[in-house]
Structure 1
Amino acid sequence: MGPLIPNELIPAEWNFVLAILIGMAFGYIMEASGFSSSRKLVGVFYGYDFAVLKVFFTATIVALIGLNYMDYLNWIDLTQLFVQPTYLWAAVVGGFIMGIGFLAGGFCPGTSLCAVAIGKIDGIVFTLGLFIGILIFSESFSWIQPLYEEYNFGHVTLDKTLGISPYLIIFIFTIIAILAFYISDSIRNRVKKVFY
């Protein structure tokens, strides 16, 4: 068992159809969660709204548990799932640049497109900046390629790197999520007392 298209359970032509449907569902969930609002997104940095933290932690835990449970039941084969290679310096520099952009503009790439879909001007401006950044990156890639490809660790996963069970990692992440929810609620309550 495993992914549907590589195992020819459904035709390859469905690839883009499924991608569009999943993308639309993801966009709807982000909009329903309020992620088209830059004020809601940056609230995590100022301590007045932790919806972003809670939604993404919940999504991560559900995906971890769901994929491993389906693998346990032999519904899928986790070895067939693609793991993005880890390029250390590309991740560090890219994460730094994206973090600055997130703080300055109040959006990440996905949420900016969500804001564009409902006609928000700040989302449109941010997305234009995003495409300018993509253009600069692609045009200067030959110059930054050595930095981009340096320290390629390959397909890294926590369980193999640390040599522990994936189920233990799921348990640890679940505990971290519960603690993060508790701490974020405590911070939000203190900030509300100060500002309200």
Structure 2
Amino acid sequence: MTFDALRSNKNAQIVLGLFFGIIFGFLLQKSGVTEYGVILGQLLLTDFTVVKVMLSAIIVGMIGVYAMKAAGLVNLHYKVGSIGATIIGGLIFGAGFAILGYCPGTVAGAVGSGAVDALIGMIGIVIGAGVFARLYPRLNRTILNRGVFPAETIPELIGVRPMIVVAGVAVLIVGVLYLLNFAGL
């Protein structure tokens, strides 16, 4: 099956999404970031496992997405961001994280490993998503589009090719990971 056939085949997309979702959940579980104590340690700045995993995921995802784009395997679709949407999203995410002690990805992994507190959190996420969906039309008219960003991507904003930004960010991430390991964190 060709890449074009995969892109247009909805069933293949669902299977691939499920496959990569399972891999993502396995890797979250294996790294330990689905454990409440690890997340608490990150918030207390005593355990940097979460930062290491997130930075590793960012570098792999960033390089992978732009490599696939350069090879013509994917088309990227951007949504213009805004200060209003960023603030609302940050408040919702922060409140959920503070109350539950998990982010959306780690809570799903914790549910998969049998954590009852995470299951209750997932119920809260579903209810919260429903409330947000119900309020979305009003929020979109009033808050979410306030302070629209001047560009859709960082490369567009600073006027350079995406691979230059990818390379620069990759070097920074590798440097931070090296420093964290060097410091024993």
Which TM bucket (shorter chain)? 0.7 to 0.9
Counterpart pick for 2:113 among 112, 118, 124? 118
What secondary structure is seen at the aligned counterpart in 2 of 1:149?
coil
Distance 1:99 1:186 in 2: 30
Q: Is the 8 A contact 2:151 2:157 kept in 1?
A: no
1:38 aligns with 2:36: yes
CA drift of 1:131 comes to: 1.7
What secondary structure is seen at the aligned counterpart in 1 of 2:144?
helix
Q: Which residue of 2 aligns with 1:164?
A: 160
* Alignment RMSD: 2.6
1:134 aligns with 2:129: yes
**What TM-score do the two structures reach when normalised by structure 2?**
0.82
Q: Is the 8 A contact 1:37 1:115 kept in 2?
A: yes
Distance 2:69 2:132 in 1: 38
Structure 2: gaps of 5 or more residues: none
Q: Which residue of 2 aligns with 1:8?
A: 5
Distance 1:33 1:175 in 2: 23
Q: Which residue of 2 aligns with 1:193?
A: none
Counterpart pick for 2:82 among 87, 96, 115? 87
What secondary structure is seen at the aligned counterpart in 1 of 2:130?
helix
Identity %: 25
Q: Which residue of 2 aligns with 1:27?
A: 25
Structure 1: gaps of 5 or more residues: 190-196
**Corresponding pairs, count:** 182
User: CA 1:113–1:155 in structure 2 vs 1: closer, same or farther (change >3 Å)?
Assistant: farther
Distance 1:45 1:187 in 2: 18
**What TM-score do the two structures reach when normalised by structure 1?**
0.78
Distance 1:151 1:37 in 2: 37
Q: Is the 8 A contact 1:102 1:108 kept in 2?
A: yes
User: CA 1:67–1:181 in structure 2 vs 1: closer, same or farther (change >3 Å)?
Assistant: same
